[in-house]
Structure 1
Amino acid sequence: MLHTFANNLNFTYVLREPLDEKWGTPADDGNWTGIVGDLQHQQADFSLDLTLTESRSRVMDHSRIYNYDPYVILSLKPSSLPRHLALTRPFKGEVWIAIIVCTPVMGLILWLLQKAWSWALSERDVSLVTPLFHTWGILLSEPSPTLPTKASGRVLMGWWLLTCVIITAAYHSSLIAHLSVQSKYPPINTFQDLLNRDGWSWGIYDLTGTNFLYFNGSSDPDIQEIYQHMQNMENSDAEEWLERVLHGGFSLLDLKTWIQIQVAKRYTDKDGNTPFHISTTEYPVFGGNISKMKQRLIEAGLLSLWLDELLKNEFKQNNTEEEGKEQPLYTEHESGQVVLTLDHLQGAFYLSLLGCCLAFGAFLIEILIHNYYTQ
C-alpha cells in the first residue's frame, strides 16, 4: 500500500524500524519509546500500522481510522457433554431438587390426612409407606390401583396427578431432544466467560505496545483481572501456544486478523474446518494512517478484498504443504434426526444397573434378617 501511495502522491520514502524495536509505551518523564518516541521527537515523518490510543494522541497526530481489527479470544471448540448424564439434562438442578423434595412431602401430607380421618372415625391406623408409594408411583407413571377413599385424599391426589402429567410431559419431550442432538459445553465468547471457567488460563502473543496499553490502562474490572493473570508468550513460537489452545484449558487473546491468519496457516483443512472457536464478542482497538488515499481504498472495498485474498492464500499454501499427509477433519455434527444407539442410552443402562444392584442388596438383607429370626 505504501508503494501505491508513493506512486500516486509522488514522494519517496525510507522504511526502517525504531532503534529500540518497540511499538511505543510511555516513560516516566513524559517521553515515549519505540515508534511513538521517534514520531514525538521528529526522528521519523510518519508511520504505518500504529494503533490509535487516547494517550498516544497527546504526542502525535493520527489520520483517519481505516481498519477495524479488534481483540478476540481463541479457544478450542466446545466439546460434547457426557452422554451418560443425558437423563438429567432436561431439567435444571433446582427443578430436580424441587421434584425430589415435593414428592415425599406430598406423600407425608396424604398420610397426615388419612391419619386424621382414622383418628376421627376410630379406624385402623394407616401406614406411612403406602402414601409415599402412591405419590412416587404417580410421578413414575405407575399409579397404585388402590386410591384414598376419602374425598380430601382424592382431591389431593388429583392435583398431584395433574402436576405429574405436566412434569413428565415436559421431561419426555426434552429428553428426546437431548438424546437426538448431542449437547455441548457453552463456548467462550467474552472475558467474563474466561473468568467464570475454573482452572482456565489465557495468554497473549505479545504484551507490548498497544496490547500493554489496552490491558494495563483499562478501567474495566474484568479486563484488569484478565491482565493480572495474563501469560506473556513474547519469546515463544506462535505454533507452541496454538498447541496449548488445542489441548484445552487455555485461550489465546490477540488481534482478530493475526489469529485468523495463524489458524488458516496451521490448523485449517481443505474444507475450511478448524478445531478452534473465535469469540463472537470483539473488543475494539483502533488504528490510523494516511487519510484521503486510504479512505478511497476503504470505500472501494479493496482492504476487505486484500484481507480475503490473504486468508485464501494461507489456505492454499497450507493445503499444498500438507498434501498427501493425513489431514484431521474438524467437521461439526449437524443437528437433525438420528437413530438412538447404546451410546445415546448408556445413562439409562447405568441407571438400570444401579437399580439391579440396589435390589440385589436389599434381597440379601431380607435373607439375612429372615435367617436371623428363624434360627
Structure 2
Amino acid sequence: MQQPLDKKWGTPADDGNWTGIVGDLQHQKADFSLDVTLSESRSTVMDYSRVYQNDPYVILSPKPSSLPRHLSLTRPFEGEVWMSFLVCTSFMGVILWLLQKAWSWVSGELGVSLVPTVFHTWGIMLLAPIPTLPTNSTGRVLIGWWLLVCVIVTTGYRSSLIAHLSVQGKYPPINTFQDLLNRDGWSWGSYKFEGGNFLYFNGSTDPDVLEINRNMEVFETENWLEHTLAGEFSFIYLKTWIQIFVARHYTDKYGNTPYQYGTTEYPIFGGNVWGFRQISKMKQRLIEAGLLSLWLDDVLKNEFKQNNTEEEGKEQPLYTEQESGQVVLTLDHLQGAFYLSLLGCCLAFGTFLIEIFFHYYHIQDQDLATTARHNIM
C-alpha cells in the first residue's frame, strides 16, 4: 500500500488529467484504491465499486440557549401580528368616527370627536369597561363585532403568554445552511476542503452553499470544539468524524453532550467507494455481511470507554435539553380575527346605509302628511 506522490485525493487539472489517487487510477499507476468519494466527474476517468457508505455533512452547533425572560410579554405574537393589531385598532377607531360623523350629518344629531372614539376602540382591545354605547344601530353593530375580535385576540394572547411564562423558551436550533445565513452575528468553519469536498463547495450552483463557502473559517487543529461550545459558531464536517471527536472529548458517561447535530444531512458525494481497474467480489461480501457497521459501532464504543476511563472520579456534566413545544401565534393562526373585524365593518356600513334609507323615507312621509293636512285645512 502506498500514497500518491502529491498526497491528494484527486481534483481535475486544466489539461484533463487528475491529481492524487484519481490521477494514479486514471494513468494506471495503481490497480485499486481504498476509500474514495464518488462524483460524476471522477466516474469518467476511473471505475468504482458499489457505494458501501455515504457519510453526509452535518452542522454541529451548541445546544440552543434560553430566550431572555424580559421579552416574554411580547413573545406570544410575532412582530407582524403586533403591527397588524396597532394598525387595525387605530383604523377601527377612525372608521367608527367616520360612520358616526356621517350619521350625525344625515340625522342632524350631535356628532362625536375623533380622539375619544379612537381611545374608545383601544380601551375595548385592552379590556377596559365601555363607558357609553353609540345611540344608532350602525355604531352598535360595529362595536359588537369589534368586541368579538378583541375577545379572540386577547384569549389567544393570554393562553400563549401563560405557556411562555411557565416554560422557558429557547432559540430555534440550526439545522440547515439557510439557518446559518439567517442567524445574525453567527459564524461557521470547517477543515480545509480537499478532493471531493473542494469540488462540491466550489462548484455548486446553490447560492446558499456558495455563501457558506465564502465565509468559511478554516481550522487545522481540534480547537473548533471549544470554539463551537463558546457560542455563536457552528462547525460543518462529516457526521462520523464529528461524532468521534465529540464522543472523545465532550460526552459524559450517560451519553449526554452540550452539542447539537443539525437534523439536515448533506450527502454531498455519491458515496464512498473503492476506485479500481479490477477488483474482486470479496469486498462487497464483507460489506453485505455487516462488517462496516460493526467497525463503526466498535470505534464509538471505544471512544466512550476511553473518555470515561480518563475522566473517572471527576464530576461529569450532565447535558440535558428540554423541549418547550411552544408555538408563537402568527397571522395564519389569527387570520379569523381579522376577517371578523372586516366583516364587522361591512355589516356596520350596511346598517348605516339601511338607516339612511329608512331615515330618508321617514322624512318624506312626514313631509307628505304635513302637506296633506295643510291642503285639508
Short-chain TM bin? 0.7 to 0.9
Q: 1:217 to 1:133 in 2, by over 3 A?
A: closer
Against the structure 1 CA distance between its residues 163 and 43, is the aligned structure 2 distance closer, same or farther, given a 3 Å change threshold? Answer: same
2:255 corresponding residue in structure 1: 272
Asked which structure has the greater CA Rg, the reply is 2
Aligned partner of 2:50 in structure 1 is: 64
Structure scoring higher RCO (CA < 8 A, sep ≥ 6) equals 2
2:66 pairs with 1:83:
no
Equivalent pair of 2:63/2:173 in contact (CA under 8 Å): yes
CA drift of 1:162 comes to 0.8
Distance 1:336 1:256 in 2: 27
User: Which region of structure 1 is more displaced relative to structure 2, 294-303 or 18-27?
Assistant: 294-303
1:27-57 C-alpha deviation (Å, 9 max, x unpaired): 2233322222232333322211111122222
Most deviating of 321-330 and 252-261: 321-330
**Which residue does the alignment assign to 1:303?**
292
Residues 176 and 300 of structure 1: is their aligned pair in 2 closer, same or farther, counting only changes over 3 Å?
A: farther
Q: CA deviation at 1:89?
A: 1.9
Aligned residue number for residue 37 of structure 2: 51
Residues in 1 aligned to 2:282 and 2:183: alpha-carbon distance in whole angstroms: 46
Amino acid at match of 1:269: D
TM-score by length of structure 1 reads 0.78
Q: 1:291 to 1:310 in 2, by over 3 A?
A: farther
Structure 1: distance between partners of 2:90 and 2:203: 57
- Give distance in 1, aligned partners of 2:213 and 2:97: 60
Contact residue 169 and residue 324 of structure 2 kept, 8 A: no
For 2:182, the equivalent position in structure 1 comes to 196
Counterpart code for 2:303: E
Q: For residue 318 of structure 2, what is the aligned residue in structure 1?
A: 329
Give 1:237's aligned amino acid.
T
Q: Does 1:294 align with 2:283?
A: yes
Residue 311 of structure 1 deviates from its aligned partner by 1.1
Once residues 142 and 210 of structure 1 are traced to their aligned partners in structure 2, the CA distance between those partners, rounded to angstroms, is: 66
* 1:312 counterpart residue number: 301
How far off its partner does 1:99 sit? 0.9
Moved more, 260-269 or 177-186: 177-186
Report SS of the residue matched to 2:236: strand
Check whether the contact 1:80–1:183 (CA below 8 A) recurs between aligned residues. Answer: yes
Match of 2:221 among 237, 246, 253: 237
Instruction: State the alpha-carbon separation in 2 of the partners of residues 128 and 330 from structure 1.
Output: 58
- State the shift of 1:258 in Å: 0.5
Residues 50 and 334 of structure 1, relative CA distance in 2, 3 Å threshold? same
Q: Secondary structure at the match of 1:202?
A: strand
Deviation at 1:121, TM superposition (A): 5.3
Residues 193, 335 of structure 1: alpha-carbon distance in 2 compared, 3 angstrom cutoff: closer
Q: Which residue of 1 aligns with 2:233?
A: 250
Equivalent AA in structure 2 for residue 282 of structure 1: E
**1:273–1:331 contact (8 Å) kept in structure 2:** yes
Matched, 1:176 2:165: no
For structure 1, the 5+ residue unaligned runs are: 1-14, 338-375
Contact 1:78–1:186 (CA under 8 A) maintained in structure 2: yes
The Cα offsets for residues 254-278 of structure 1, whole Å up to 9 and x where unpaired, read as 1111011111111111111112121
Counterpart-to-counterpart distance in 1, 2:202 and 2:81: 43
Equivalence for 2:358? none
Amino acid at match of 1:83: R
- Tell me which residue corresponds to 2:330: none
Q: CA deviation at 1:217?
A: 2.4
Quote the offset at 1:139 in angstroms. 1.1
- Aligned partners of 1:181 and 1:336 also within 8 Å: no
**Larger mean Cα displacement after TM superposition, 203-212 or 113-122:** 113-122
Distance 2:189 2:323 in 1: 32
Q: Kindly state the Cα deviation for residue 336 of structure 1 after the two structures are TM-superposed.
A: 8.6
SS at match of 1:47: strand
Bigger shift: 327-336 or 258-267? 327-336
How many residues matched? Answer: 320
Q: CA deviation at 1:335?
A: 4.3
1: CA distance, partners of 2:171 / 2:325: 19
Indicate how the Cα distance of structure 1 residues 128 and 304 shifts in structure 2: closer, same or farther if over 3 A, else same. Answer: same
Structure 2 match to 1:98: 84
Instruction: Report how far residue 314 of structure 1 moved.
Output: 0.9
Report % sequence identity: 73
Task: Give deviations 1:109-165, integer Å, cap 9, x for gaps.
Answer: 223333444455555553334323321222122222422222221111101001111
Structure 1 counterpart of 2:94 = 108
SS of the counterpart of 2:59? strand
* 1:66/1:294 contact within 8 Å kept: no
Would you say the 8 A contact 1:134–1:143 is kept in 2?
Answer: no
2:295 maps to a residue whose letter is W
1:233-259 deviation digits (Å, cap 9, x = unpaired): 2xx212x11221112222211111101
